[in-house]
Amino acid sequence: MLDIRLLRANPEVVKENIKKKFQDYKLPLVDEVIELDAALRAAKAEADALRNQRNVMSKQIGGLMAKGQKDEAEALKAQVSAIAPKMERLAADEESYTAQIRERMLVIPNIIDESVPLGRDDSQNVEVERFGEPKTPPFEVPYHVQIMEGLNGVDLDSARKTSGNGFYYLKGNIARLHSAILSYARDFMIGKGFTYYIPPFMIRGEVVAGVMSFAEMENMMYKIEGEDLYLIGTSEHSMIGKFIDAFLEKGELPQALTSYSPCFRKEVGAHGIEERGVYRIHQFEKQEMVVVCEPEESMEWFHKLYGYTVEFFRTLDIPVRTLECCSGDLADLKVKSVDVETWSPRQQKYFEVGSCSNLGDAQARRLGIRVKGENGNYFAHTLNNTVVAPPRMLIAFLENNLRQDGSVAIPAPLRPYMGGMEEIR
């Protein structure tokens, strides 16, 4: 959510940003907010004037009563009583204008960074850098489910009976590998100085509205029937929500946190859940990074965060690339975003395994996350990034470590978490 002062002073900047995101249908919102804001300030000014008038009259009534001028005092009391309905009406107007302004401000997108490439959708995202040489084995790489089934590590048919499409049972050494990757990711981030968390897996509606846009919420979140609770789509939601209404000391920043959680997503608009695969699913687990920091440090942290993900995958010898998200592919709260993609030997192309986002002060402004400054309080900046999210990462891992005989090599960093195993057969 933007600072209302920006719309008052530079509405054209906000409109130009909307155009850069190819959301021209939102342009009228800027003028609507400005008009509502003017009406709100006028109502507040009138209410303040009436309040002052009432206070002056109240003092005069006391003076008149002290002098025994009862009739004059009663006349003033009548005038004071007449002010009350006007103030009630103005209070209702203020509440209505405030709600209408917030409704529109929540939809107006955040100001994107000047470095963000302009583009209408993800087809116009821009490759930044590649790390590691893409592998092309001298044999045909099977579909990832075939690899897992060959190792007796997945049961999709049973999951379809219990839960429907988009769910899975992992078992045996594949399930163990899944857990090993998450444990390694946890320790990797702790080694980078991050504090490890296991957060709540359900959050209230006010937190959901604070961390994401309404459109994202509708397409992602599962709501608990009859309660003001939602299943999280990523632990970023509850980790940022942890700071709601917080006043942080400068010495407490930055807050560098890494969190594990299951994640639950509707995947609305995903053009159907792939029946046989585990790439796009309703339930998965993830190790996340979250940073709350000073505004001037957020871009430095942004580059650090996706760099950690690149480093993590490279320790497992998996080729990756970074992809800068164009303006039209950025969610409304984001200032800048980079996707990390891994190489798929089977498909001979890269696919997304994580995303790093700088949200500026958008989430902090919605949730009231402030820093105590010497010259007044100000909003912190928030960032998030995926360390690793199996089972999607399992696809990349299995394809890049598959041998011709169907066995899978276990890289050295994962062996301590696999009981010393060097391969899965």
Whether this prediction's pTM lies above 0.85 is answered by yes
245's tokens: 């209404």
Whole-number pLDDT of residue 296: 97
Whole-number pLDDT of residue 267: 76
Whole-number pLDDT of residue 273: 45
Q: Is residue 71 exposed (0-12), middle (13-18) or buried (19+ Cβ within 10 Å)?
A: exposed
Q: Which residues of the chain have pLDDT under 70?
A: 268-276
Whole-number pLDDT of residue 387: 97
Could you write out the DSSP letters of every residue in 364-403?
Answer: HHHHT-EEE-TTS-EE-EEEEEEEE-TTHHHHHHHHHHB-
Structure letter (DSSP) for residue 142: P
What are the E-state strand segments in 310-360? Answer: 320-324, 336-344, 349-358
- Mean pLDDT (the chain, rounded): 93
Domains of the chain, start order: 4-105 (1.10.287.40), 122-424 (3.30.930.10)
Whole-number pLDDT of residue 310: 97
pLDDT digit string (tens) for 250-298? 999 999 999 999 999 987 555 444 446 888 889 999 999 999 999 999 9
Could you write out the DSSP letters of every residue in 58-90?
Answer: HHHHHHHHHTT-HHHHHHHHHHHHHHHHHHHHH
Whole-number pLDDT of residue 70: 83
